[in-house]
Each structure stands twice: as C-alpha cells, then as structure tokens.
Chains A and B, each alone.
Chain A
C-alpha cells in the first residue's frame, strides 16, 4: 500500500535531478535563515511554504504529458501576450515600473507566465515545422520572441526581458539557426549598442557604469556591489561560518535575502561553499542536457534544452552580478534566494523537464 503510493508519487520524478534539486533547495533554506538575521524563523518558514507549493507544482507538471503541454503552448503564449498588452494599457505602477495587472480577483505579473510560455511556444512552432526549417521560420520565431520581450522592456523590467529573450533565443539556437545569421545578428547587436545606450533608462545606465567603476559612487549606486564583494572576499576559503558573516548579519549587504543572497552565502561558506554550489548547479545542468539529448520529439528536446540553459542563465547572471563581473540586474539566485515566484517558475520548468524524461518511453514505443 505504502509502496504503491510511493510508486505513484515518484513515477514521473527523475531521481538524479530530484536529488540535486533537493540538495540545492535545502542549502537555500539554511542560507535564507541566516540571511534573514538568524534569529527568526519567519522568513525560513515562509520560504518553506513557498517551497512546498513549488514542489507540488513540479510534481503536477511532471505528471502532464509533453503532448498536452505542446497543445497548451500556443494558448498560454497568446494569453500571456494579451495580459502583457493589458499591462501596457491598464497596468499598476509600483516602484516606477508598470509590471502588474489587477484582474479583480488577483494581481498578476504576466511576464512570469512568459518565462515558460515563450520557450514552449517556440518549441511548439519548430516542432510543427519539423520538416525542413527555412530562414522564414526563424523570422517568424524571432517575431514571436521579440513581441513579448519588447513589451516587458518597456515596463521597464530589463532583467526579466533579458531572461525571457535568452530562453527564447536558446530554443531558436538549438533548433539550428545558421551560424551566419547568428554572426550577423551579433555584429548588428554590437553596432546598435550606442543606440541601445541612448534608449536605456538612467538607472540602467548607472548600473552599467557602476559595474565599470563601483567606487565612483560608493554610497549610492556602487554601494550594493562594494558591500557584496567585501562580503564575498572577506569570507576567504572556508568562510566565516553559518550565521557568522559580519557583512550579512550586520546588514551591510543590501537585499541580502533576495538578489544578493550569494554575498551572504559566499561570506559564511567561503570559496568552498561557492564551489559546492557551482558543482550542484552543474550537476543539474548536466542532467538537464542528458534529458534533452535523449528526448524523443523536437518539442521536448528544444523545451528541455531551453529550460536547462535558462536555468544556467539565471545562475550565471546572478553570480556574476553579485561578484561584480556583470551589471546589477534584478535576477534572484535560482533555488537559493528568498521569494516564491521565481522558485515556482524554476520548479515548474524542472517539472516539465521531468515529464519529458519520464514520458519518452511511451512516445517511442
């Protein structure tokens, strides 16, 4: 009876991936506890609740057959797009950004839906055009990608737009966009950089400038970066120990439990901790690639590959920003940072990955 229940629960779960995820999530909880001052369980318990919900969602999505997901891709994308237009027209402004839409029942942030919607719909599209992809198909895909990304950039929410663009680009890249096009796009991108600079918001420019020289404005824009690098650097090889990071515990690290949680982690667990975290991330990515490589349909291949690469992007952008090699972009550290929404979208992604991993036998048979 018990073994039967266990069988049902774990049937669609990929063991190695789940193990790596569980280790990372457990690590995340301990860091969130420390990053919230180490004296109250409030945040850690809240994050535990978020985690329970996100794992349930993972399990749910793991049950859904890839075929069904493929059928849902276009409606989800269109709904998301409609909501984004709604945001642009009637959205609520918070902290100077128009990102939220009040649906009467609840307030939603449609860009979150697009984190899953964009790669799914692109994978669906390439799956449909399986027989001989032409340049025209890539043009259509580019349109599908640029439309929501443009709307999100205008909110403005550069971080999310960047990640959604990356997730869509990964699908297109993996589908085989020719190197010539990629090369010319890169050149075009480099050429348009000055233009991009001119349309950037002041605060966005500042973030780039801050990356180049954080000491220019040590108490303003540079403060985050300076304090987080001090935290990480002072951690040394072995770290100051859990709950003992002075930068973290005395509140010198800003946004220590969300976007800058790596500074807390790096200070308290040192280089050893950072290496362990990178190894965990690499294990997850490696497993994701294995699932993608052995997936049976174009849709599942592309989806699995894009989800894995997007996950990598999250991790790299956040770690790069907190350690001062990338500009400050509002991206949380996946599975470590406090916060429910990001956790949910990441674990839903891994749910889909598991669905792909565990449903391929059915398809190929």
Chain B
C-alpha cells in the first residue's frame, strides 16, 4: 500500500517534471516567435515604419504670404491689410452648431448679420473647413473666449490678415474686391497649377484690379514643418521657408480726381472714364452707384448681397466697362473724320438743312432735333450745333461697311483691352453682322440712324473715352490701362510699366483731326451745344455732347411708378478733352436719365478739368437736366 503510494508519487513527480520540460520548450518557441516578430518589425521593416512615424508627427503647414497693397498714382492706399482675430468654427467638429453659437452669444456679441453670413458660408463650403463666425475680435473678447474654450470643441481663435478698402465706395469698380475662394476659383487655380501656392489661402481677387492682378498680389506661399501630436496640435516648429509677399500695385488712378468725379455725379447714376491721352493711363474710372467692397471681405451676408444684387440701380454693374449705350451725337466727330478719310465730304461742303432727311424715293423723313432745321450747315457747324440732317446724308453716302471699318480703327465694336476683366465689346454694326445676327439684309435706313449714333450702334463709356483720347492723341490709338507700376513689397523696388508704344495704324490723319478738333473747341464756346460747360474756362475744351434714347424698360426691372418717369428720360453723353491744343485729359461721361449732354454731363467734365488743369476745387451746383424745349443737340 505504502509502496504503491510511493510509486504513484514517483510517477507523479516524473510526469510533473516532464510536463514542466515540455512547457519550457513551448515557452522557448513562443518567445522565439516574438523575437522573430520584433526582428521583422524593427530590422526588416524598420524603414517603412520609420516613414510612417515621421508622417504621423510632421505636418507641413502653409504660411500665407501678405497680399500686396494697391496704391493710387500718388501713393494713396486703396487696398491694405490689417491683422485681426477671428473666431472660427469647423462645423464637422461640432455636434450642434446652432446651439453652440447660441451658447457663444451669451458672452461674445454675435449679431444677426454674423449668423446670416456664417450660414451662407456654411452652405457654400465643405464641412471640414474652418469658417469665421466673428471677425475683428477685441482683446477682451479673445480673453473671454479663451477662458471658455474647453466648452467649445471645434471653435478656434485665429489671427488672420484681412483686406480693407479704406476708401470705401470710391473707385470700387476699378479696385474690385477679394472674396472667399469658391468652387469655380478652385477649378481655375487647379488648371493653372497653382494649387500648392494657394494652400492656406482662403481669399482670392474677384473683380477689378484685385481679380486681374491676382498673380502679382498674392505672393508665394511659404511653409512650416511642424511637429504635431495625435490630437493635431502643433508642438514645435522644425523648419520654415518664408513666404514671399505679393507685389504692391501702383494704379494709374488719381484718388483725388476720382473722388471729385464721383462727387460730381451727385445723385445721378452713370459712368465716367478719364484718360491721359498720351499714355492711356486711366486717371478716373467711375460707375455710379458704387458699392462698399469691404462688405465682401469676410463673406457678404445674404441681406447685403440681395440689396446689392436686386437693386434696380444695379450698383454691382460696372457701367464704365459693361454699360452698352447708343453713343448718340458723340459719334458725329468720328463720322466727320470718316467722311474726310473716305473723301465723301470736304470741310467746305455745305448742305441746306430743311429739318429732315429723306432717302431718295422714300417718303419717310429722318427728323433733325431742330424741327425747322439749321439752315446752311458745313462740317464745322454740323459739329458745333450738332446737326442731325448733315450726318443722315453723310452716313448714307459712306455706307455701313465703310463706317464699320473706320470706327473699328477707333476701337468701337471690340473690347479696348483694358487690364481688368468683364469689359463688353459694344457694337459697330456691319452688313455681315446683321446677316449673322438676324439673318437679315442691311437696309439703307439702318445706316442713316447709325449716322447719329443710334440704331444698332452701341458703345461703352470706356470705348468712347478711348476713342476721344485717340482724337486728342492726333489719331494714334490709345489703349487704356489701370496698372502703372509694380513694387516689390520687400525691396520697395518699383518697376514702371513700359509705356505702350502703339504699333497700330493711325485711326485718322492728323490734318483731318485738326479740322474736327477746332469744331469740337467751338462746341464749348458761345453758340455751341455745350457753351455753358466752357464758359469762363482758362483753357480751351474740345467736346461733343450727345443724347442716348432710352427705349423702354428692360426685363427683370421692378415696376416702380415713382421712378418710371425718370427712368424713361434720355441718357446724357459727353466726350471732351483739354487743353484742346495740348490735351492732358480726355474723357467720356454718361449720365443716366440726364437728358442732355450739355446740361448734366458737361458741368461734371468742367469740374474735373478745372481741378486737374488748374487745381481749382469744385463748388457743386445742382445738376439740371434742362427742359424739353431747350436745345436738343
């Protein structure tokens, strides 16, 4: 019994030791497997995992360059930057954005406008983008938020550079504005292979100088290598390549002149372009009413947007570049030049004006604005008193294709090529054009209307100004432009733009221009249609008045009984340059519903010339459209 027990015990001990040995073997194998695994990870695959670890911890953060400034020709600031704190929300990181904003509003002012703007931004952007709910936070607000930060995951205070337009509405159509980058912008940036340079940039120039010279203004984005933790927070900077600030742009505008021009319009809508005829530099570019570009900088709210977009006054429409009007009688000097050029009229050729013109064998009478007629009229007089009958016959004899060819030389019917976007081409009609457009034959009657700048003829104020400057420049075509110089923002080195040497053929012979010019000077002298504009001037003004008929209401405009009447008033047109013998400034003015060029547009021109040529500050008198029985030009 005891022996049995002892044997059992012995057996049990042997089994135990065997199994212990076995376990030991198993353990060795198990640890060998682990060692194999560690060797695989840490020796064979080390490079791979090292790369992954580096990718984990290093984040390349773009450093956005400062946008270049925009200055007027005298160094006045038109667009600048300021740095401010913004409070931004990444919607994807916030469970209930509305409620979080409500909570935020309990200790930081959030206006209804802020909310509307945020909402609009939210609709337009991706969920993971950081969008501002408040901009320009005060130091105190920043501090107040910092204390409550933990309650607002997905909210962040950021220091950002903002664009500001210190002049407000002044020159807004020329300067343009920047706005948040939208899908169309992204696509364009992508097509131009600039995606890398726009990492971190969330605004882009949309219009005007801001839009056209985006490349110059933006600069080159730098980068910073930052070590981040698993939560994405930056721990320390590892390396940095500095961004290169955008270039400052000096534009051709003269801010003082621009202001005077805008004020001269008083409550009228319209457009004005003033050009230095020797260089093509645009000194003033007005489109009234304007808008405040500052509204767009941090995202425009829907209310302001609707107000701007749906106003019957169309403040967002750049009338100077995009308003296409019948040039009316302002076309007459060009018609006279055409007739001289094609030898259809000599300066001495005289007609007897019965107050109308009729095509041979047609009963229809094309009436002069002066019912009883102007009597004997030669070329000089036809411009001074703006005789319609003279030009009806002249146009008929020239024929539309000759008119088309000649006007094209002055830039009509094609964009002038000014260096901002959005310009429309106007229209210098031809037989071919009518056939293409309407599949109709050109009639002789069509040509007669074109003779006084009506009918199919359309021109933008910019085209009129460029054509006027071309007369002032003795027939050498003038190409308007807005950029004067580019200034490196770091070295302050300024590179003036080469004055564009015109290789175009002369638009008209200088001896012909001299003839027309002398008639244009008499327009502003007693007996001329703009005698009032020239009265008492210390220098001679060459000018031509014009009237563009308002055909009727356009589609989409609101019916407004009170406005209706004035809306049907004719547009007043005026082209001029001075001093007549050595022109320093040429311009075209359009006053919507201003009736007669001489009465509303003329005084505007005079104020600008006075200031520009003599330094006299204008004293504004109310613009009177004049009575209907008054001279009609």
Residues in A lying within 8 Å of B, measured CB to CB: 130-133, 170, 173-176, 227, 229-237, 246-247, 250-252, 266, 270-271, 274-275, 278, 281-282, 285-286, 289, 292-293, 298, 301-302, 305, 309, 312, 316, 319-320, 323-325
Contact of B12 among A252, A298, A324 (CB under 8 A): A298
> Contact mask B18-50 → A, CB, 8 Å, 1/0?
011001100100110111011101110110111
User: How big is chain B's contact interface, by range?
Assistant: 35 or more
The total of Cβ contacts below 8 Å across the A-B interface reads 137
Q: Is the CB of A174 within 8 A of B19?
A: yes
Contacts of A132 in B (CB 8 A): 8
Q: A230-B49, A230-B52, A236-B42 are in contact. Are A246 and B30 (CB under 8 A)?
A: no
Closest to A228 in B: B41
- Give the most central of A133, A234, A289, A301: most B CB within 10 Å: A234
Closest to B34 in A: A319
CB B235 to nearest CB in A, in angstroms, measures: 7
Residues in B lying within 8 Å of A, measured CB to CB: 4-5, 8-9, 12-13, 15-17, 19-20, 23-24, 27, 30-31, 33-35, 37-39, 41-43, 45-46, 48-50, 52-54, 56-57, 227-231, 235
- Give Cα A232–Cα B49 distance, bound, in whole angstroms: 8
9 tightest Cβ-Cβ pairs between the two chains A and B: A233-B49, A234-B53, A233-B41, A251-B230, A250-B229, A176-B15, A271-B42, A234-B49, A234-B50
- Give Cα A173–Cα B15 distance, bound, in whole angstroms: 10
Q: Is the CB of A246 within 8 A of B57?
A: yes
CB B157 to nearest CB in A, in angstroms, measures: 23
Contact of B42 among A266, A301, A319 (CB under 8 A): A266
Q: A174-B20, A323-B38, A325-B37 are in contact. Are A250 and B46 (CB under 8 A)?
A: no
Contacts of A250 in B (CB 8 A): 56-57, 227-230, 235
Contacts of B30 in A (CB 8 A): 312, 316
Q: Is the CB of A173 within 8 A of B19?
A: yes
Main secondary structure of the interface of B (DSSP, over half): helix
- Give Cα A312–Cα B24 distance, bound, in whole angstroms: 10
Closest to B33 in A: A325
- Give Cα A114–Cα B39 distance, bound, in whole angstroms: 36
Contacts of A312 in B (CB 8 A): 27, 30
- Give Cα A275–Cα B15 distance, bound, in whole angstroms: 32
Q: Is the CB of A247 within 8 A of B34?
A: no
Contacts of B4 in A (CB 8 A): 131
- Give Cα A170–Cα B22 distance, bound, in whole angstroms: 12
Contacts of A229 in B (CB 8 A): 41, 49
Q: A230-B53, A231-B53 are in contact. Are A316 and B34 (CB under 8 A)?
A: yes
Contacts of A275 in B (CB 8 A): 35, 38
Q: Is the CB of A301 within 8 A of B38?
A: no
Q: Is the CB of B8 within 8 A of A130?
A: yes
CB B226 to nearest CB in A, in angstroms, measures: 11
Contacts of A323 in B (CB 8 A): 34, 37-38, 41
Q: Is the CB of A282 within 8 A of B45?
A: no
Q: Is the CB of A246 within 8 A of B16?
A: no
Contact of A266 among B13, B38, B227 (CB under 8 A): B38
Q: Is the CB of B52 within 8 A of A234?
A: yes
CB B181 to nearest CB in A, in angstroms, measures: 28
- Give Cα A281–Cα B53 distance, bound, in whole angstroms: 29
- Give Cα A293–Cα B16 distance, bound, in whole angstroms: 8
Contacts of B39 in A (CB 8 A): 271
23 A-B interface contacts by CB (under 8 A): A130-B8, A130-B9, A174-B16, A175-B16, A176-B15, A230-B52, A230-B56, A232-B42, A236-B43, A247-B53, A250-B56, A250-B229, A250-B230, A252-B53, A271-B42, A274-B38, A282-B27, A286-B24, A289-B24, A293-B17, A316-B34, A319-B34, A323-B34
Q: Is the CB of A282 within 8 A of B227?
A: no
Contacts of A309 in B (CB 8 A): 23
CB B231 to nearest CB in A, in angstroms, measures: 7
Contacts of A170 in B (CB 8 A): 23
Q: Is the CB of A246 within 8 A of B53?
A: yes
- Give the most central of A227, A246, A251, A286: most B CB within 10 Å: A246
Q: Is the CB of B9 within 8 A of A232?
A: no
